[in-house]
Amino acid sequence: KDFKKSIDGMPRDKGARHMFPDFDEKQISRICADKQKKFNSLMAGSKIKVYKSTVRFIKALKKRGIKTAMASSSKNAGPILKKLGLYGLFDADARGAFVKKGKPHPDIFLRAARRLRIKPEECVVFEDAQNGIDAAKKAKMKCVAIERGKGHSLRGADITVKDMRFLTIERFFGIL
């Protein structure tokens, strides 16, 4: 659990380097390519789990005119959201593929703020990984940690919830 926690939210290649520090770049690339192949086959043949409470919350924000951005380290976040028909919920796409340094560096969140034309200190990040929380705080953004039963505590967020269904719009606006 502690090892997974240390790479959670990192870009795939950085996580692989962390897991296999003695491997060369060719071996790391092969591991990443194998993982992508496995993901593609799983995505083609299975149903993807959606956190309905998260979708409801994003829709509630959109209804109130709040801009949203997708800022995931995963190369697969965009294709997954498109497959689910949820990609259109976001005003900006700031995936890790568009930045040089992944989480825990703040670059991905700073890109999201720029794409939304919002000051970083006016942004709220929703994160389920410690590396993402650390990146949000380095970007001077507010952060909501979502535990989702991971079995380990997330530190440093402004608010921590077990699931998005426990976060009300009123509580959200209270941290701004």
pLDDT tens per residue, range 138-152: 999 999 999 987 666
Both 35 and 76 in one domain: the answer is no
Query: What is the SS3 assignment for 162?
Result: coil
What's the pLDDT score for residue 5? 54
How is residue 158 written in tokens? 């402004």
Full-model pTM = 0.76
* Cβ atoms within 10 Å of 46's Cβ, excluding its own: 8
How is residue 125 written in tokens? 């990040």
Both 87 and 28 in one domain: the answer is no
Both 26 and 64 in one domain: the answer is no
> Whole domain around residue 115: which residue ranges?
52-174
- Higher-pLDDT residue of 102, 42: 102
- Higher-pLDDT residue of 90, 50: 90
DSSP-derived letter for residue 48 is: P
pLDDT at 12 over 90: no
What's the pLDDT score for residue 87? 95
Beta-bridged to residue 126, according to DSSP, are 144
Per-residue pLDDT, averaged over 108-136, amounts to 96
d(CA 171, CA 104) in angstroms, rounded, equals 26
| In 38-134, beta strands by DSSP E | 69-70, 92-93, 124-127
Which residue from 54, 44, 33, 26 is spatially nearest to 163, judged by alpha carbons? Answer: 54
Both 131 and 160 in one domain: the answer is yes
Please report which confidence band the pLDDT of residue 100 belongs to, taking 50, 70 and 90 as the band edges.
confident
Both 37 and 57 in one domain: the answer is no
Mean pLDDT of the chain: 87
Per-residue pLDDT, averaged over 99-111, amounts to 91
Phi and psi (nearest 5°) for 93? -115, 115
Q: What is the CATH number of the domain that holds 101?
A: 3.40.50.1000
Work out how many domains the chain is built from and give that number: 2
Both 59 and 32 in one domain: the answer is no
Both 77 and 154 in one domain: the answer is yes
β pairing state of 92-93 and 124-127: unpaired
